[in-house]
Amino acid sequence: MKETIVLGLGNPLMGDEGIGVRIVEELESACGKNFPQADFLDAGTGGMSILHLIAGRKKAILIDCALMGEQPGTIKRFTPDQVRSQKILAHQSLHEADILNIIDLSRQLGECPEEVVIFGIEPESITERIGLSFCLDQQIRSYLDLLIEELEEM
Amino acid sequence: MSKNINIHVHHLTRVEGHGNIVVNVTDGTIEKCEWQVPEAPRFFEAMVRGRRWDDIQTIVSRICGICSITHSLASTKAVEDALDIEVSEQADTLRILMHYSEQLQSHVLHVGYLVAPDLFTAPSVVPLVPKAPDAVKTIIRAHRVANQWSDLLAGRTTHPTTLKPGGLTKIPTEKELRQLQETLKATVNDLVTICEVVLSVADKLPNFTRDTEYISLKQDNPPTYTFYHGDITSTDCNGDGPVHIRDWEKVANEYVSPQSTAKWTRWHRDAYAVGALARFNNNADLLSPLGKKVADMFGLKKGNCNPFMNNIAQLVECAHVVETSIEMIDRLLTNGLKEEKISVTPKAGRGSGCVEAPRGILFHTYEFDKNGDCVAANICIPTNQNHANIQKDFEAFVPQFMDRGQDDLRHGMEMLVRSYDPCISCSTHMLNVEFVK
């Protein structure tokens, strides 16, 4: 098992919701070979599967669309302890997921990576559409630069 | 008796729809009792129009993160039906093995993470860890095995990469299959433990029965407790032959209800149910020995019409898929694995694919032009097929349980919805946070 995992989360069929998947794909193809200690994975909307994907790793980097009250296109790096979830879970379906809850569960189980870093990107448009809004699409390069910087610091 | 009840469980955000539960009782008279599904309509069928035959699976696997293998298999089968593509016995067996991994993944997740908190009186699985640590760890271990099983067969846990009309682009090695088989044998004990834990609190499942039509796949040749092959049957068929999957629209009879943006369905009655209990009620005699043993533990018998027992039928199926997979791997290893080439010539055609998602029967139909480009699509998901039945259950449940007071009634209705293992908000999982540091 590689010590680091970089997970791209979201759904490419829902416009900017797919930003995490797009970034991890581009990141791996652009420079995956430069970081042999890291796995890169499009985890899509697998929800609870994140629990297993991060278990036992030293570091997990999660990239996801995030409603943060920022300007569309803004990317923010944060740790789970720096935020509080505003998501209301109905507990009706397995299909809703809150990665902050999953990280909490991982910690309780004693298998959470020492370092969990989240890169949240504020969406402009979440709707049934394949592809990002122009606003996010034109900033992909700068998002990749931030991720590469993160990986180079390891 | 509570003479006045006012329940409004609303869980609606812009893109992550959920079901709303609304009950109004005044002076002991039920004025309103509704299961509302105000989810924004989704347009996945439109997204595949104009796409090539070999692009369909990669798109529809994103409809749902939990049932992505199932959507992939249904679409792949539909494309193969439309383009007259043959699939080898080896590829067919490996696909079923892949499909079983998703059944285990989803069922363990549902019973362990969503139903167990109800039974142990916890708000969610996270606070359950200190309360029942061994049980939670056993559930997580079984779920992890299922995920690794999907990784091996599907290329990754979610959104498969190995499926292609005509076969598989990558197959496991014999060594990997042997390791999987050993892991599954070791998982049997964990499954039995999970069943025993659930049995110890099974009295928390409400004793509620409503005569219901149950619809699922049925496979006669060879007779199999099927998730993948066969035709469509119903507990109301009364000896009538099963319906071919190409005719699924005559079974689903989709219609629009004013209380829902999701389409509802009906066949012989005004509602029907799909899912593990439906499969059990149609095929229980074909379960593996361990599957039958788990059913016996809980006293689950064919003809059961308690929707809460869907959770138990899921446990039965966990045992069945693991035990059956151990045998399937034996067969694959005996025959020896071989690399197979996929060769497809696009042509015009229309085809359907039907498989059992963990939460019930799933239908996909596509039409292609002579270049193999998709010109029409129709998808009917299991949860939509259960909405009308949940409404009918509510109408029977509320009068029986309203004596227990508003909070208990609301909790019972929420448990009832959960027992159907619905897939309502599956296409988006974004974060929503405020910064505290």
Q: Which residues of chain A have pLDDT under 70?
A: 88-97
* A4-152 CATH: 3.40.50.1450
* Residues in A 20-39 with any Cβ partner in B closer than 8 A: none
Return d(Cα B266, Cα B260) in angstroms, integer.
15
CA distance, residue B243 to nearest chain A CA (Å) = 30
Q: Which of B123, B431, B437 sits opposite A81 (nearest CB)?
A: B437
- Domain range summary for chain A, segments of one domain joined by +: 4-152
Q: Do B19 and A92 touch (CB under 8 A)?
A: yes
**Ordered domains of chain B (ranges, CATH):** 46-381+409-419 (1.10.645.10)
Residue B53 pLDDT exceeds 80 = yes
What percent of chain B clears pLDDT 70, i.e. is strictly above it?
94
Q: What is the pLDDT of residue B250?
A: 95
Return d(Cα B1, Cα B7) in angstroms, integer.
16
Secondary structure letter of residue A15 according to DSSP: G
Residue B409 pLDDT exceeds 60 = yes
CA distance, residue B334 to nearest chain A CA (Å) = 31
Q: Tokens 């088989």 label which residue?
A: B181
CB A49 within 8 A of CB B415: no
Mean pLDDT of B213-236: 97
Q: What is the pLDDT of residue B309?
A: 98
Mean pLDDT of B160-183: 97
Q: Do B429 and A11 touch (CB under 8 A)?
A: yes
Q: Do B429 and A109 touch (CB under 8 A)?
A: no
Residue B344 pLDDT exceeds 90 = yes
A1 touching B (Cβ < 8 Å): no
User: In terms of Cα–Cα distance, which of B311, B413, B103, B423 is closest to A96?
Assistant: B423
Q: Model confidence over A20-58: pLDDT tens digits?
A: 999 999 999 999 999 999 999 999 988 889 999 999 999
DSSP B150-187: HHHHHSSSSS-SSEETTEES----HHHHHHHHHHHHHH
Residue B55 pLDDT exceeds 90 = yes
When the pLDDT of each residue in chain B is averaged and rounded to a whole number, the result is 92
* Residues in A 74-93 with any Cβ partner in B closer than 8 A: 78, 81-93
Mean pLDDT of B141-167: 95
Q: Which of A42, A85, A108 sits opposite B159 (nearest CB)?
A: A42
Q: What is the pLDDT of residue B73?
A: 98
Q: How distant, in Å, are the alpha carbons of A125, B36, B267, B273, B315 from that of B388?
A: 32, 10, 11, 8, 25
Return d(Cα B215, Cα B233) in angstroms, integer.
6
CA distance, residue A83 to nearest chain B CA (Å) = 4
Q: Residue B239 — very low, low, confident or very high, per pLDDT cuts 50/70/90?
A: confident
For the purposes of burial, counting CB atoms within 10 Å of the CB of B395, is it exposed (0-12), middle (13-18) or buried (19 or more)?
A: middle
Beta-strand pair A38-44/A4-9 = parallel
Mean pLDDT of B329-358: 96
CB A118 within 8 A of CB A151: no
B64 touching A (Cβ < 8 Å): yes
Q: What is the pLDDT of residue B66?
A: 85
**Position with higher pLDDT, B325 vs B17:** B325
Q: How many CB atoms lie within 10 A of CB B26?
A: 12
Q: What is the pLDDT of residue B85?
A: 97
Q: What is the pLDDT of residue B130?
A: 87
Return d(Cα B223, Cα B286) in angstroms, integer.
7
Q: What is the pLDDT of residue B4?
A: 86
Chain A hits for B426, Cβ within 8 Å: 45, 93, 95
Chain B hits for A90, Cβ within 8 Å: 9, 11, 18-19, 425
Our CA angle for B334, B336, B340, nearest 5°, is 145
Q: Which of A41, A85, A95 sits opposite B424 (nearest CB)?
A: A95
What percent of chain B clears pLDDT 90, i.e. is strictly above it?
76
Query: H-helix or E-strand containing B88?
Result: none
End-to-end, the C-alpha distance of chain B in Å comes to 49
Return d(Cα B279, Cα B234) in angstroms, integer.
9
Q: What is the pLDDT of residue A89?
A: 62
Residue B425 pLDDT exceeds 60 = no
A98 touching B (Cβ < 8 Å): yes
Q: Do B431 and A120 touch (CB under 8 A)?
A: yes
CB B425 within 8 A of CB A95: yes
User: For the ranges A129-133, B156-160, B259-263, B301-305, which has the lowest average pLDDT?
Assistant: B259-263
Return d(Cα B153, Cα B163) in angstroms, integer.
9
Beta bridge partners of B219: B224
Mean pLDDT of B114-143: 89
